[in-house]
Amino acid sequence: MPPVTYLEAISAGLREEMERDESVFCLGEDIGVYGGAFKITKGFLDDFGENRVIDAPVAESVIIGAAMGAAIMGMRPVAEMQFADFITCGFNQLVNNAAKAHYRWGAAVPLVVRCPSGAIGNAGPFHSQNPEAWFCKVPGLKVVAPATTYDAKGLLKSSIRDNNPVLYFEHKGLYRFPRIREEIPEDDYTVPIGEAAIRREGIDATIVTYGKMVFHSLDAAETLAGEGIETEVIDLRSLLPYDKQAILESVRKTNRLLIVHEDTLTGGFGGEIAAVVAEEAFEHLDAPVRRLAAIDTPVPFSPPLEHYFLPNTEKVTAALRDLLAY
């Protein structure tokens, strides 16, 4: 099997699940004849028919709400947000309806919401956001954010097979990222929800990150490796639940922690990690926990503004140097 892109891996994972299980179907805007805004479902309409590849009206609340209704009935819907930014229009269905149904009356809601997220260059405030943190404080939801091609497919399969509502954040900047084209197994495989992956081992500092920032973090680690600094890079892969043990073990080893995410700083998921490390690994820290994230503004449009807004390899490298210099 030739190397595939992250995007192709998502598409293949979805296709295989639809072939494997008749209860899996897709619902979203422009996913039928157009194949989705990013072409994840290209060809699906021809192959699976309009009963399983359903073009929805421009109405995110009913896309998620109807997916929930079908899920209660035992179907396994995969709803697509055209952009993760639009999930706000379906917020209530997720956080109040789908997330609480099992707790309140025992109804399993095996629902996946795919969310193309992240900044890919001058798409402005409404096509660039990383809204995952809004959902990470909602008991009943699960949240995943794969960074690699292998994980993209394996986590999608796990999400579809999970009996809970899962938000699947797929970073648009990874869709065709040449560096992560890889050969993935032809055999059926899954990546468990809730397990982090150590992308680079180190002893001097830990970076905890996820999504596209994994690669900026790895590049920063590589730069400092030339100076004899060995940085451990942890890719969370899942945010809710997240792999607390992996973080704590790494921090106990390296004694320094930098958290990196593309979402904005205040109220971002990094705050939760920092709090847990402060509570459970304080005695192991040789420096204050440091967070690097997007600045606390909307995602600006114009190139210099967006560049200023986003974390990148240089900013991660600088933050890491600061952390080590403490």
Partner 1 sequence: MNVETAPALSDPDLNESGLDDLGLGRDDYRILFLTMRLQREFEERIYRLFRQGRLVGAAYAGAGHEAIAAGSAHALGDADVLVPMHRVIGAHFLRGHTARDMMCQYLGRANGPSAGKDGNMHCGNWDHHIVGMISHLGANIPVTAGVALASKIRGDGAVSLTYIGEGGSSIGDFHEGLNFAAVHRLPMVLIVENNKFAYSTPTRYEYACEHIVDRAQGYGIAGSLVDGTDVRAMYKATRTAVELAREGGGPTLIEARCTRLLGHAQHDDAFYVPKDIIEDGWNNDPVTKTENLLLERQYFTREELDGIKEEVKGIVDDAVDYAEQSPLPEPEEALDGVYAD
- The token pair at 24 is 């899996």
Q: Shortest Cβ distance from residue 53 to partner 1 (Å)?
A: 11
End-to-end Cα, the chain, rounded Å: 48
Residue linked to tokens 């192709």: 8
Of 53-61, 145-153, 217-225, 318-326, the window that binds partner 1 (rule: CB under 8 A) is: 53-61
- The residue within the footprint of partner 1, chosen from 96, 266, 297, 302 (CB under 8 A), is 96
Does 61 sit near partner 1 (CB under 8 A)?
yes
Q: Comparing C-alpha atoms, which of 307, 112, 125, 290 is closest to residue 209?
A: 290
| Interface segment toward partner 1; rule CB under 8 A; list 30-38, 59-67, 169-177, 195-203 | 59-67
Among residues 30 and 222, whose Cβ is nearest to partner 1? 30
Residues 240-269 vs partner 1: string with x where CB under 8 A? ------------------------------
| Residue ranges of E strands in the chain | 24-28, 53-55, 76-80, 112-117, 142-144, 166-171, 197-200, 205-209, 231-235, 238-240, 257-264, 290-294
Q: Is 108 in the site for partner 1 (CB under 8 A)?
A: yes
> From the CB of 249, what's the least distance to partner 1, in Å?
25
- Bridge partners of residue 225, in order along the sequence: none
**From 56-64, 150-158, 225-233, 275-283, span contacting partner 1 (CB under 8 A):** 56-64
Q: Does 105 bind partner 1 (CB under 8 A)?
A: yes
Number of helices (H) and strands (E), helices first, in the chain?
A: 12, 12
Q: Which run of H or E residues covers position 325?
A: helix 313-325
Tell me how far apart the alpha carbons of residues 195 and 212 are, in angstroms, rounded to a whole number: 17
Shortest distance in whole angstroms from residue 166 CB to partner 1: 11
* Catalytically annotated residues: 127
Chain contacts with partner 1 (rule: CB under 8 A): 25, 51-52, 54, 56-57, 59, 61-62, 64-75, 77, 92-93, 96-97, 100-110, 139-140, 142, 163-164
